[in-house]
Amino acid sequence: MKEGKIGVILLSMGGPDSLFAIQPFLYNLFSDPDIFRLPFQKLMAWVISRVREKKVRGYYEMIGGKSPQREQTEKQAKALSELLGSEYRVIVAMRYWHPLTEEALKELFKEKIKEIILLPMYPQFSKTTTGSSLREFFRVYRKSNFPKVPVRKIESYHNFLLYIKAMVENIKENLSNWEDYYFLFSAHSLPMYVIKEGDPYQIQTEETVKLIMKHFPKVPYSLGYQSKLGPVKWLQPTTEDLIRSLAHRRVRKLAVIPVSFVCEHLETLYELDVQYRKLAKELSVEDYVRIPTLRTHPTFIKALAELVRNSAKNPS
């Protein structure tokens, strides 16, 4: 048997780790053609990141001056490493801010590695998230001088039973009287042209929600999308529009459940916790509860470990 450890790389979007990192983070984000298709992409990315920096800076100031995503993803990596054992080495690679893919590979190959498993921190697949992270990994890895070892990739786990169980447990643990609430699931939105080109994200997100709701058969629910950017048409309905509609229908107890996020970041801490909470209050929603993301929930970490072990046993 080949010597060395199995390297596991957690792939995530990342976020600015200080107020000074906001503009370069936004530049990297808007430079990605998998998400934004812009003429003169690099130039436009620079202009847009400069324009948006001041506005976005205010949002980050409200949530502590930075994104907590790196720290939370590293805690996930630590918990996963402890569960997998010494045969594995688990590290983190972010798509748009540090540690970037090349930095992650340098860290990984400080030890002898016999194969790599790529594990996205996006349960539902999209070319704009998992797809972009995978392409970036292979682009960097192929042109690098690091040892070339077999690479396995986990593309999605939107319907993986342990992941669904973790979501169900997380809701129940944070909402003891859940029978009294309306469940509003919120997922990151995507431009409609991405979906029309065959991206499975919407279908997989809807399946995740349906599987979760099998455990709450009498609870009414909806799925909305948040974080739209730019003038093109994005997925509907929006989370904001659903809050307005539910308030008009006199829904007074609302549980908001992030379904495409596994860590806290701007979309949860500002959009859901500040912006939409304020809107709900203005519309007379009496009880607005936001369910936290999974982070290091024990069942979620077990799900990740099982996904990794299955990949190691059954390489594609």
Answer for the pair 284, 244: CB distance below 8 angstroms, yes or no. no
Q: Tokens 């498993």, residue?
A: 117
Asked whether residue 305 is domain-assigned, the answer is no
- Asked whether residue 34 is domain-assigned, the answer is yes
What type of residue sits at position 194?
V
Domain membership of residue 205 as a residue range: 161-290
Of 6, 37, 62, which closes a domain? 62
Looking at residue 230, its pLDDT comes to 74
pLDDT tens column, 32-79: 888 888 888 899 999 999 999 999 999 999 999 999 999 999 999 999
- Report the DSSP beta bridge partners of residue 224: 186
CATH number at residue 241: 3.40.50.1400
306 belongs to a structural domain: no
Q: pTM of the predicted model, to two decimals?
A: 0.95
Inside any domain, residue 178: yes
Share of the chain above pLDDT 90, in %: 92
In-domain check, residue 268: yes
The larger pLDDT score, comparing residue 226 to residue 34, is at 226
Distance between CA atoms of residues 13 and 65, nearest Å: 18
- The 10s digit of each residue's pLDDT in 244-263 is 999 999 999 999 999 999 99
> Within 10 A of 212 (CB to CB), how many other CB atoms are there?
21
Q: Domain for residue 128, yes or no?
A: no
- What is the average pLDDT value for the chain, to the nearest integer? 96
8 Å CB contact between 93 and 133: yes
Q: What local confidence, expressed as pLDDT, does residue 232 receive?
A: 84
170 by Cβ neighbours in 10 Å (0-12 / 13-18 / 19+) ranks as buried
Residue 236 lies in a domain: yes
- Tell me the pLDDT tens digit for each residue of 192-212: 999 999 999 999 999 999 999
Q: How far apart are CA 78 and CA 38, in angstroms?
A: 38
Does 99 sit behind a cis peptide bond, omega within 30 degrees of 0 on the bond before it? yes
165 and 278 assigned to the same domain: yes
Looking at the structure of the chain, the number of domains it has is 2
Residue 168 lies inside a defined structural domain of this protein: yes
| pLDDT for residue 39 | 87
Residue 292 has pLDDT above 90, yes or no: yes
- pLDDT of residue 181 exceeding 90, the answer is yes
